[in-house]
Amino acid sequence: MRCMRLDKLVAGTGISRQDAKKLIAGGRVTVDGKVQKDPGFSVTEANEVSVGGESITHKAHIHIMIHKPGGVLTATEDARGQKTVADFLPFAFFKRKIGPVGRLDKDVTGLVLMTTDGQLAHRLISPKWEVTKRYRAVVEGKLDEECVLAFKTGIEFKDFTAKPAGLEILSANEDESVCLVYVTEGKFHQVKRMLQAVGHPVKHLHREKIAMIELDESLAEGEWRELTDSEIHDLYVLTEMNEDG
């Protein structure tokens, strides 16, 4: 059973550690029904923690964004003990079965959405819903208009033909170029394979945006926050789902 400081768990609801400490000192936080004023009190997933009378483990659904660092798996656990995005999140979320909305390769950085709403996750990654993902890539060599056209047309691979995608060149030099890539599907290594196919192997790939949700610039690698009510609302409208279940 994983242990965590009470102030860290409370801060995990999206407030600063300082504010969490104030709430705890002010007697607003209970553990298993009893007021707990020690911010360093150790809690496990077995404890029921409430702030101002509201359980922080029992919201209808939890939706978060995390800034995934490189070298970390987009998974909630790994049998071989490799670091996963779950290592950055409060364990209370896993009691609620939060999971990632699609995956980024281990070396890829950037936006990962995580939700306890499996149907929402499914629609956001299903090719049928054509949700656009925006990536920033640093590639080898000089990108040109032919690459843009190839992306627009749809690149053919042995195992699938990529749907038409957007390629916006931000800078292009003989040794290195920087671009934005817009795709609506998420085949294995898709963006890397598309850029490789037009002759420009990827040096670094970073996801900036999924649908209308942009990675919050204030989040350093490994940091996360809950989605705002308006971000959640937008995702439910986009996927034609009812927010209230």
Q: Where do contacts with ligand URA occur on this chain (CB under 6 A)? A: 104-105, 108, 189-192, 205
DSSP class per residue in 35-47? E---TT-EE-TTS
Sequence length of the chain is 245
Smallest gap, in angstroms, from Cβ of residue 119 to ligand URA?
22
Contact 7, 39 (CB under 8 A): yes
Query: What's the closest the beta carbon of residue 205 comes to ligand URA, in angstroms?
Result: 6
Phi first, then psi: what are they for 18, rounded to 5°? Answer: -65, -45
Q: How far is the CB of 105 from ligand URA (least distance, A)?
A: 4
223: left (phi over 0), alpha (psi -120 to 50) or beta: beta
CB of 39 to ligand URA, least distance (A): 37
Residue closer to ligand URA by CB (options 39, 100) is 100
Report in angstroms how near the CB of residue 79 gets to ligand URA at its nearest. Answer: 20
Residue (15 or 180) nearer to ligand URA, CB = 180
Active-site entry in 7, 19, 105, 234: 105
E strand segments, 141-243: 166-172, 176-183, 202-210, 213-214, 224-226
Alpha carbons 139 and 149: distance in angstroms, whole number: 17
Q: Measured from the CB atom, is 42 or 126 closer to ligand URA?
A: 126
Nearer to ligand URA, 59 or 189 (CB): 189
3-state helix, strand, coil in the chain (%, to 5): 25, 30, 45
The yes-or-no answer on residue 105 being catalytic is yes
Q: State which residue, 120 or 165, has the beta carbon closest to ligand URA.
A: 165
Per the CB < 8 A criterion, the answer to whether 112 and 74 are in contact is yes
What's the rounded Cα separation, in Å, for the pair 9 and 240? 32
Owner of token pair 């809690």: 43
Q: How far apart are CA 49 and CA 71, in angstroms?
A: 32
- Supply the residues annotated as catalytic: 105
